[in-house]
Structures are given as C-alpha cells and as structure tokens.
Structure 1
Amino acid sequence: MPPDLAIAHDFPLASCNTFGIDARARCYVRIASVAELAAALADPRLAGMPRLLLGGGSNIVLTGDFDGVVLHMAIMGREVLGEEGPDGKFTLVRAAAGENWHALVQWTLAQGLGGLENMSLIPGTVGAAPIQNIGAYGVELKDVLHSVTVYELATGRLRSMAASACRFGYRDSVFKHQDGKGLVIVDVTFALPTAWRANLGYAELAQAVAGAGLGAPGPADISEIVVAIRRRKLPDPALIGNAGSFFKNPVVSKTRCAELLAAFPALVHHAQRDGSEKLAAGWLIDQCGWKGRKLGAAGVYPKQALVLVNNGGATGAEVLALARAITDDVRQRYGVTLEPEPVFV
C-alpha cells in the first residue's frame, strides 16, 4: 500500500535554499523514501504540476514563486559496504541522497576512511553532489565515485549507474543534460582508497599544511585545514545567504590565455592536463571592481569576489540582475564569458 503523503500548500522556501530567498511553492512534499517518491509522482493531487527536486538548496536561485510541487529529497542512511578491487584497494561507502555532504565527510573520517577530506564543508546534500560534480582543493567527486542509484521517472525503475556512465566534466554531469533530467539520484556509493595518501596538489592547501607544521598529516588534519580555509574565505549560509562559488572558473585555450596575458600580465591562470588554461573567475570579477558592491539587497562578498550574497531580503531577480551585470563587465573587459554554477528557477 502506498504511503500517505503529507502535501503542504503555499509552502515557504526560504529555509530550503541557502540563498535564503523568500519564495513560495504551490505544493511541497518531503520525500523520505523511494516509496514516497513513487507515491508523490503517482498522486492525482499533484498530477500535471511542474516538479522541482530539491536537496540542500545550495545550488539554486529562486527567481520567483514556484507554481508546482517541490519534492524535497530527505532520504537518509549511510553504511560501509566493505572492500573491493585487487587486495582490497578501495573501501566502498554508500550514502543516501538526503544526507548532508559535510556530515558525511566527517562520518567517513570517524570510520578511519580518507578520500573526501579535501571537499570538507561544501554545502549541500549527497544526492546533489554528482549532479554538479562538486570539487575543491584538487579533488572532484568523480575521483572518488563508484556508482549512483537512480530512480527513472519514466519507468519507476531503480538502476545503478557506474561512474563512467555519469559523463562527469568540470562542474558538469549527465544529470544536467536532457538525457539525464529524468533520473533522480537516490543514493551514492564512493570508492575510498584503502592505502590513503594526502592530496596536496592544490598550492593553497599545501602551503597551509606546511604552515601548520604537519610533516605527515592524516585525513582528519587535511579536513580541519580545509574547513579553516573555507571559513576564512567564504560566508556561512546560516548567517549570510549565498550559494558558495557563484561562477565557474572559465576554461580557455592556451593560445587565448597567452593573448590575455599579453594584455593583462597579472592574470591568474592554471594549466590543465589537456593543455587548456583555467582562469580565476574571482580575480576577473575583482579586477572589474565588483568585490563588496551591491545591487539592491544582493551583493558581492567583500572577502571573495566569486561569492554573491543575500544582504537581507534579496529577491531572485536582484541576484539575477547582479550576476548579469558582472558577466557583462567581465565579457566587455576580457572577452571571457562567465557561467553561473547555480540553477535559476
């Protein structure tokens, strides 16, 4: 027998998005199980309504009220599955979509498992992490992902997808494209290295570890340092509404980067394995004079130009206008187009 759904009407969404935008949903359902997801999709009271799936709301900008049903993914659970691969090369860990990402990182560390520590304190939920291919300090989700379990909206079937089927790219995955829009992530399985080694390829992290005098840091040490760096540079969404890094770091060809360097010798850039160059979006925005500026109640964080913030009562329209103004200025000055990380709804 299908579960009895609790459907809320005219539901306030300010607490469901880290920007703290005060929008409302026509209907709202908290989804705590796959059975509840199936029931919500089949419920005649919700038939024909547009659907919005929400996790932690850390990668979304609500530009107005949502005239449809919000399905808030709150499926919980996490477990160590055991070792896999030759000589137990990896330890598999599974976490449900509704689990808080940072809480999962801390839990794996408590189990004595490293691999996720560089991505400590990234806001959001486990289910949203593969969609964006989250990453920080030299590690991306794709580096540690084993598989995801998805619910097919068209068939009601559960199936497992290997990491190779997720088509991961820089802040990208199959789930952001048309052929992945009908897939709802239910849980994620990670392959964490049994023989852990610190990943200190990111210069800022390596310098912080050296500055802490840690000759042989463990996973928990790396996590603490990453948390300290992020708290120093980024606002806490609980205090100042934001969606973390708002723009992707643009990737250009080596030739284009050389042209930009000739005109702007201080340009911050990082060589990529494929020969391209990744530009620092925060530097571009800062050079255009946007750090600390405001448009209405939306603004650019004074300590980090890559972060847009809600200074109190900002609307989605104000955030959108600010993002467009910044994008226009960067394009005009540098000929580079910035792409937002959050989704506008």
Structure 2
Amino acid sequence: MPYLSAYNSFNVNAYTKQVATIDTIADLSKLDVKGLTPFYVIGEGSNTLFASEEVSNLIKVNLKGIDVQQQGDGHLLTVAAGENWHTLVEQCTTNNMPGIENLALIPGSVGAAPVQNIGAYGVEFADVCRWVKWYEFASGKVHKMSKEECEFSYRESIFKQQLKGKGIIIEVGIFLSHAWQPKLHYAGLDELSIDATPVQVMEKVIEIRQSKLPDPTLIPNAGSFFKNPVVERSVYEQLVAKFGAMPNYPVDKKHIKLAAGWLIDQAGLKGYAHGNVAIHDKQALVLTNPNNGNGEELVLLAKYALEQVKDKFGISLEPEVRMVTEKGDTPYQEVLV
C-alpha cells in the first residue's frame, strides 16, 4: 500500500491502494481505468492536497520530451506533460525564446499548466497555448484540442471542469512569438527598465517569488492556496469605503480582482499556526506544513482562513489547490465543510 509523502509538495503522508505510472504513450492503452476508479491524475503534486488519510488510486504522468520548431514569426514548442514547468521556462528564456519568463518558478509539471491555466505577473498559460493533446479513456483516442476548445479562464479550463477524470493531458503546444515585449506592470517588475532582457525579467520574477514564497523542499507547501477573488466594482468601492485602500487589479469595466493574501493578512492570520500547520509569515496566501501534519489539519486551517475572511470582508475565497480524498478529485465545497 503506497504512502504518498513523496507525491505531494505538502509532504502529507496519506496512502493509497495503487499508483499507476505513465512513462510512455504505450502505457496509456494498458491502463485498467475501470479497475483504478476512483483515481486522481497527478504530475508533481505541487497543487494537490491529500485531504484524507486514505485517498483514491493515482495515475502518475511521467511523459518526457521537448521539440522546438521555427514557425513563421516565432517558435512552436511541443512539450510532454511530465516535463518540469520551471525548467522549461529557464530553457526557453536562456535560449532566446521569451514569452513565459513571468511564469518562472511556478512549481509543477507542464501537464498541469493547462489544467489550472497557471498564471503570474500578468501572463497566463492561455496566452502562449496553441493546442493541448488529451488522451480520452473511454475511446482510447488522442484529441488535439485548440486553445479555444480548452475554454481557459482565470485558473480554470475544460480539463478541470467537463473533462475532469475523463482523460490525461499528454502534450502541449506552446507558441513563443519573436515580437516580444516585457510585461512589467506588476509591483517589483515595474522596477525594471522597459529595455530589460527576458533573462532579467525571469531573474526578477524568481527573486520576488523567493522573497515571498517558501521553498517547498524546506517548508512543505503548495504555493498559492486560494484564488484571488474577482468582485464587482461596486463591491470593491464599498470595501474601500470601509477598510481603505487595498491591492486591486482591474479585470474589466465592471470587475476588480482583489489580493486573497492581503485579505487573509488583514483578517489577522499571517503567521497563524495551529498544531503542525501554519499560514506563512511572509505570504498569507500560502498554507504550510512545517511539522509533518496530515491532510485533515490543513483542511481545518483552510476552513478557518475562509471563515475569517468571510466574517470580516463578506468575501468567499475559493481554493486554487485541488482536494483529493478517497473519491479522487473532490469539490472543495465537500471538503471544507
């Protein structure tokens, strides 16, 4: 019966009955999906919380390979799902293929990038995605889905919704245009010159992230635990009238994105510890597991943070981290109750 501390960046030592590994495309046809059900598809486990002592079976994706082709006014990269995302960012940026440098140091595998539509500092995976290859369990076929078919939105995609549990991402197509301009409008990056090179932007992103976010190899964590909430402008104006100026990022004319970490901090929870788990003392958006706590402890901590923010600001935060129980990928509403 496999124990799973090495399968998740929270270092939670849950257990499962079986872990099936996908090392080659041929392994997909050998999967006993019916026998594995319920299951959870996992890459590096950097955005996963094993929320119960026993969790579902796992399908671990280890597919490797990167191909780069010159195409028109840019480079088209074909990248296997098991490649490390940050390593890909480094390779592209240092080899004069800019476009994803703002996404440096985001933990996890390439296959997880479209699921979450990962994003940071004004850039999202959707901005560079050309297509995603997805293996469908029911038909045994590989579908090449266009960016539009992936239905990307803020930390969302069709793979996290309608197609959840129905297949596996095996490969992504990324297009990096030669017509590159640095995106520097976020705090910290705006210190750079408009003439900054891609490597300088990447290095600054890494510096900022390392100053705020704990290294999961030293302090187990899954990065940003909650999504930044998007509210109507009228709600934002009411909050400012009551609490004063707060970090805000206009989404469109009617909606404003707020900083979940700031809300948790202002609720008095930055550095809050309970038992073996804690809210990070430098970035309140990050839940940590410094003393080998279990999934249930992290669930209680997340629930407490949700309650405190709701009580003070009237805003309901939503986890970005995926919750895994004995039923597999489980809606957070069923876990944080």
Greater CA radius of gyration, 1 or 2? 1
Match of 2:219 in 1: 240
1:146 CA displacement: 0.6
The one-letter amino acid paired with 1:243 is: A
* Alignment partner, residue 135 of structure 1: 119
Q: Relative to structure 1, is the Cα distance of residues 258 and 68 closer, same or farther in structure 2, using a 3 angstrom cutoff? A: closer
Q: Which residue of 1 aligns with 2:273?
A: 294
What does residue 148 of structure 1 align with? Answer: 132
> Aligned-residue CA RMSD in angstroms?
1.4
1:64 aligns with 2:43: no
Write the distance in 2 (CA, Å) between the matches of 1:291 and 1:127.
32
**Structure 1: how far apart are the matches of 2:238 and 2:222?**
32
Distance 1:179 1:79 in 2: 26
Listed as ranges, the matches of 1:194-273 within 5 Å are 194-207=178-191, 209-210=192-193, 216-273=195-252
Q: Is the contact between residue 50 and residue 67 of structure 1 (CA under 8 Å) also seen in structure 2?
A: no
TM-score (norm 2): 0.93
Rounded to whole Å, the distance in 1 between the matches of 2:143 and 2:249 is 38
Structure 1 CA distance, aligned partners of 2:127 and 2:307? 34
Residue pairs, 1:1-345, within 5 angstroms: 10-41=1-32, 47=35, 49-66=37-54, 68-83=56-71, 88-207=72-191, 209-210=192-193, 216-345=195-324
* Secondary structure of 1:206's aligned partner: helix
Task: Name stretches of at least 5 consecutive residues in structure 2 with no aligned partner.
Answer: 325-337
Which whole-Å deviations, capped at 9, do the CAs of 1:155-204 have from their partners, x for residues lacking one? 01001000011111111111111344413100111010112211112233
Letter in 2 for 1:25: T
Q: 195-204 or 145-154, which moves further after superposition?
A: 195-204
1:274 Cα deviation from its structure 2 partner: 4.5
Q: Contact between 1:299 and 1:308, CA under 8 Å: does it hold in 2? A: yes
Higher relative contact order (CA 8 A, sep 6+): 2
Q: What is the distance in 1 between the residues matched to 2:36 and 2:187?
A: 50
SS in 2 for 1:57: coil
How many Å separate the matches in 2 of 1:12 and 1:114?
A: 39
* CA offset digits 1:121-145 (Å, max 9, x no partner): 0000000010000001110111111
- Structure 2 partner of 1:4: none
5+ residue gaps in structure 1? 1-9
> TM-score, normalized by length of structure 1?
0.91
**Runs of 4 or more consecutive aligned structure 1 residues displaced over 3 Å after TM superposition:** 65-68
- Equivalent residue letter for 2:45: G
